[in-house]
Amino acid sequence: MTSSFHERCLVFGARVYKLLAAVQRTSASRDIIDQLIRSGASIGANANEARGAESRADFAHKMGIALKEARETSYWLAFVEHAGITNDPVLSVLKAECNELTAILVSSVKTAKRNGASVNPSTSV
């Protein structure tokens, strides 16, 4: 049985946290680690927030924020790898999952926009 998208986001964020909780923090790596944890967890938080969107435009906007967080997370995962902050093999699994979540979010945002997510200028505030 496959996990739902929201479950995958939750598990992904938790796995990012678990990976980095075990990493030795230095003054140089502390901010990077904290930022990666925040962005990794934020993907699911923003996607979950989109479930309560007030309109298609609001849904597309919130999923767009989740997409930005996914792209940021991808960057920080690569940074952590290249900087040698951790060499845990889970890192490559997380990078692959982040790429898949990003692809799902791109598709979701495109579909929402195509299905009328744009705001009608005559009704905007």
Do 21 and 85 contact (CB within 8 A), yes or no? no
Which CATH number do you get for residue 30? 1.20.1440.60
72 is a domain residue: yes
Cβ atoms within 10 Å of 69's Cβ, excluding its own = 25
pTM for the model stands at 0.87
Side chain identity at residue 125, one-letter code: V
109 is a domain residue: yes
Judged against a pLDDT cut of 70, whether residue 118 lies above it is answered with no
Q: Domain range holding 68?
A: 5-115
**Residue that the structure tokens 């929402």 belong to:** 112
pLDDT band at 115 (very low <50, low <70, confident <90, very high): confident
124 is a domain residue: no
Cβ atoms within 10 Å of 26's Cβ, excluding its own = 10
- The residues near 98 (Cβ < 8 Å, ≥ 6 apart) are 12, 40, 70, 73, 74, 77
Specify the number of domains making up the chain. Answer: 1
